[in-house]
Amino acid sequence: MIHSLFLVNHTGDIFLEKHWKSVISRSVCDYFFEAKEKAVEPENVPPVLQTPHHYLITIYRGKLFFLSVIQTEVPPLFVIEFLHRVADTFQDYFGECSEGVIKDNVVIVYELLEEMLDNGFPLATESNVLKEMIRPPTILRSVVNTLTGSSNVGDTLPTGQLSSIPWRRAGVKYTNNEAYFDVIEEIDAILDKSGTTVFAEIQGVIEACVRLTGMPDLTLSFMNPRLLDDVSFHPCVRFKRWESEQVLSFIPPDGNFTLMSYHVSSQNLVAMPVYVKQNISFFETGPCGRLDITIGPKQTMGKTVEGLMVTIHMPKAVLSANLTPTQGNYTYDLATKVLVWDIGKLNPQKLPNLRGTLSMQSGAPKPEDNPSLNIDLKIQQLAISGLKVSRLDMYGEKYKPFKGVKYLTKAGKFQVRT
């Protein structure tokens, strides 16, 4: 199935490659580099590219491209899911998934890839199984390995590999038993010039951090589960129980994992956290244009909007921007023609405003289209869909664990047309 994997950094350099069957030349990546040049943003590179002899399937995570080379036709989502699992494993092992960290732990990276894929087919992808086979790096272990010449590879087959619940190892013990859940939602939206919603949907995920002794059986219930249109679960979730009762019943993996992801696509259920009043105009005569943007809170349920940032890809004819922000600061990159206004925390009493003039190239024609605004934001302790966890129950063990739920809303591809 998967023949080769190339890791490419954001500047376009291949810094790691792994081949499972025959060695495939790096020149196959040229098709990917062509597509990357055509795409304005790295996220816009097509995930599946067809070449005369191969298919290239890519994901973009942490400023890195994971590029897999396939020679036969396979379901692309199968490969994409596996690549995300590889990136998640690196994150779990090393604390972050970046070029520097991968280069520092290159031996463990190759050992992991060897175990995760066997002859091109996924084999061991559960974190707890991998950690028993290949121990995560620590400073002490690195020193011992250097002195003794030993490796991080375990001597015995993981207990979970032969179990009916391979995601959980046997004999787990903790002094502090805790189960924490993060409900994280991303809004993808397009608003037109008047502020009307053209398109809106919410992509949600529930991240779990469970450190419980023994073999606990958990039940998580929601106040309003019928909000969810499309759900995808970790293999530990009993799907029949969800279908009949809309309740999550599962024996959790040990540590961090993604319990479920979901989708809310009914536009009337998607609340817009901010509104934008904007006016960007370029004049037929005279080398200048005007810009005026104001942002205010809309449906935030009394919560504060944080990390607010506006990014505008200006037309090529715009040479410079002379603007005055009432809050935050702005930068204009002359090479990439990108204007970034970093606002920070939104104050409802004094709405942030950015206004001023744009200097145009003399003799250049008026731009045909006005640029769109890309909004980035975060709202703590709010799930914008209205989803709420009502209770978490534990069976099979006698102790009482610490329990907690956090909510976070952030912008995905949030665009305002001008």
Q: Could you identify the residue written with the tokens 């795409």?
A: 39
User: Rounded to whole angstroms, how far apart are CA atoms 263 and 385?
Assistant: 10
| CA distances to 283, 300, 339, 362 from 319, in Å | 15, 37, 11, 10
Q: Is 90 exceeded by the pLDDT of residue 149?
A: no
The pLDDT value recorded for residue 363 is 75
User: Rounded to whole angstroms, how far apart are CA atoms 185 and 264?
Assistant: 10
Confidence of residue 418 (pLDDT cuts 50, 70, 90): confident
User: Rounded to whole angstroms, how far apart are CA atoms 220 and 390?
Assistant: 8
Mean pLDDT across the stretch 295-304?
A: 88
The pLDDT value recorded for residue 109 is 93
The pLDDT value recorded for residue 343 is 94
Confidence of residue 153 (pLDDT cuts 50, 70, 90): low
Beta carbons of 177 and 212 less than 8 angstroms apart: yes
Packed helices 76-94 and 106-116: angle between N→C axes, nearest 10 degrees: 140
Mean pLDDT across the stretch 264-280?
A: 84
The pLDDT value recorded for residue 277 is 92
Beta carbons of 193 and 266 less than 8 angstroms apart: no
Q: Is 60 exceeded by the pLDDT of residue 17?
A: yes
* pTM, rounded to two decimals: 0.82
Q: What is the pLDDT of residues 62-102, one digit of tens each?
A: 899 999 999 998 999 999 999 999 999 999 888 899 999 99
**How many CA atoms within 13 Å lie on the side-chain side of 392?**
20
Share of the chain above pLDDT 90, in %: 59
| CA distances to 55, 70, 208, 309, 371 from 169, in Å | 37, 33, 17, 43, 53
Residues belonging to the chain: 418
Q: Is 80 exceeded by the pLDDT of residue 60?
A: yes
β-strands 288-297, 353-360: how paired?
A: antiparallel
Q: Which residues, 6 or more positions from 280, have their beta carbon under 8 angstroms from its beta carbon?
A: 289, 290, 291, 292, 293, 312, 370, 371, 418
Confidence of residue 31 (pLDDT cuts 50, 70, 90): very high
